[in-house]
């Protein structure tokens, strides 16, 4: 299996390569930061500057789809503008059906919430007891919030296998609810999302509570499972 990944910005793609019983993280993308020598050179050649680790003191990325005001000078070719949308490509040649791919934006990694290997190991551990990728992604975002992430978060797990048995109706998995006065916009969006899925706000919050209860029961059952005789004799 051959994988070709193109990226701009600081969202990351990680290839999880299975080796024996563990997964090794293989970086398929590298963050485009204004302070990188190659990026800084292009920015300065385009009559820009890097201040506070940002392009012209504004943007923390040196490549992006948007941010039109920084795609200057207008008479420069796209790949030479201060901020460009030209991607870098990485080729992976040895993929197989036991591997998986993880794609996520910077909220997963900010302030070292997770490193590449850390997040792959975390997902792999979840896959041992749960094959529902949507639930695992939801749990991962909750984990990032618990660890202190304050940035936007999106995540996707891709397995290389026949998905026929996995195909199922769209499932609504409500996230955490915040009821502070400063969270009015969030509350409006959360309620609209619940209604779009066919739930009232009260029903969505009840579903969230039930999901957390099931998750806790699953965690407890896993952590308290009895050891086998061989495990006990070897001290595992």
Over range 79-91, report the average pLDDT.
95
Q: What average pLDDT does this structure show over 202-208? A: 96
Lowest mean pLDDT among 20-29, 47-56, 108-117, 216-225: 216-225
What's the pLDDT band for 121 if we cut at 50, 70, 90?
very high
Q: What are 21-67's pLDDT values in tens digits? A: 899 999 999 999 999 999 999 999 999 999 999 999 999 999 999 89
Burial (0-12, 13-18, 19+ Cβ within 10 Å), 120: buried
This prediction's pTM: 0.71
Query: Where along the chain do the CATH 3.60.40.10 domains lie?
Result: 1-34+70-168
CB contact at 8 A, 200 and 192 = no
pLDDT 10s digits, 142-171: 999 999 998 889 999 999 888 777 767 778
Residues facing 26 on adjacent strands: 15
Look at domain 1-34+70-168 and name its CATH class: alpha beta
pLDDT value of residue 221: 76
């Amino acid at each position: 299996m051959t994988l070709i990944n193109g990226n701009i910005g600081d969202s990351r793609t990680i290839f999880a390569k299975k080796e024996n019983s563990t997964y090794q993280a293989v970086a398929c993308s590298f963050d485009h930061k204004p302070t990188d020598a190659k990026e800084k050179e292009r920015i300065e050649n385009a009559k820009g500057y890097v201040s506070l680790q940002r392009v012209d003191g504004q943007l923390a990325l040196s490549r992006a789809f948007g941010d039109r005001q920084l795609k200057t000078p207008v008479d420069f070719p796209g790949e030479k503008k201060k901020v460009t949308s030209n991607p870098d490509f990485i080729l992976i040649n040895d993929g197989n059906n036991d591997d998986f791919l993880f794609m996520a934006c910077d909220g997963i990694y900010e302030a070292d919430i997770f490193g590449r290997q850390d997040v792959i190991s975390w997902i792999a551990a979840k896959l041992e007891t749960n094959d529902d990728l949507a639930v695992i992604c939801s749990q991962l975002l909750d984990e990032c919030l618990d660890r202190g992430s304050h940035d936007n978060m999106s995540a996707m797990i891709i397995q290389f296998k026949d998905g026929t048995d996995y195909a199922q109706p769209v499932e609504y998995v409500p996230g955490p609810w915040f009821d502070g006065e400063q969270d009015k916009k969030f509350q409006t969006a959360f309620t609209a999302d619940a209604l779009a899925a066919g739930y009232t706000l009260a029903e969505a919050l009840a579903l969230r509570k039930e999901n957390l209860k099931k998750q806790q029961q699953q965690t407890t059952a896993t952590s308290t499972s009895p050891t086998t005789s061989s495990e006990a004799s070897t001290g595992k």
